[in-house]
Amino acid sequence: VTTEFFVSQKKEEYNRFNHPTEGNIEYFFDSIDEPKIANVFGVESYLLDTFESGLGIFDIKHSQTHLIQELLKTSSMVEGKKLYINLQRNHVDSIGVYRYKLLIANSYSYDTPEHLLYQTLNVAKQIGFDFESDTCVLIGDISRDDKTYQLYSKYICLLYTSPSPRDLSTSRMPSSA
């Protein structure tokens, strides 16, 4: 949510818009200075209790906040738009950037490589991704032999892989899987 329109009392409403949840959840947000956005997220209360009993007082941030900050730093290395797909088991972060500007950031669950591809193609459409000239980077434990990579390679010409977001901060683009 852009900080211009963000109201902290509505963080539960913002989170539930994209992520219907059940259970006892507490809602938080953390800020990204550039672009000026608030990243809203929920944490189940039993996890917070566990953290508090082991750590005492602590600050909590969403992993996507760190990911967005890291990707924005590297966003000028290649011409055109970049779509980063941060793969985790049954969960993905999709982040689109263009010349230090955040175009989209969302996270969602997926069941199959086909479902993941469908979601990614939808995100690509929303940001005006050019499948011939823009770049897509699959982040995580993935190789050319993976079904996910095979599916993506049918639609995206400039497809790369990276084992970690940290590997993107080098002066060159990651290698083609």
Q: What is the pLDDT of residues 63-73, one digit of tens each?
A: 888 888 888 87
pLDDT of res. 168: 64
pLDDT of res. 175: 46
Other CB atoms within 10 Å distance of the CB of residue 117: 19
Stretch 171-175: mean pLDDT: 43
153-161, long-range: CB within 8 Å, 24+ apart, which pairs?
Answer: 155/117, 155/121, 155/131, 156/131, 157/131, 157/132, 157/133, 158/133, 158/134, 160/135, 160/136, 161/137
Token pair of 42 as six digits:
């929920």
147-156, long-range: CB within 8 Å, 24+ apart, which pairs?
Answer: 147/113, 148/87, 148/113, 148/116, 148/117, 149/177, 151/113, 151/114, 151/117, 152/117, 152/120, 155/117, 155/121, 155/131, 156/131
Q: What is the pLDDT of residues 112-123, one digit of tens each?
A: 999 999 999 999
Stretch 80-93: mean pLDDT: 91
Which 3 state secondary structure label does DSSP give 40?
strand
Residue 170 scores a pLDDT above 50: no
Residue 177 scores a pLDDT above 50: no
Of residues 146 and 2, which shows the higher confidence score?
A: 146
Residue 173 scores a pLDDT above 80: no
Distance CA 139, CA 125 (A): 20
Distance CA 79, CA 122 (A): 22
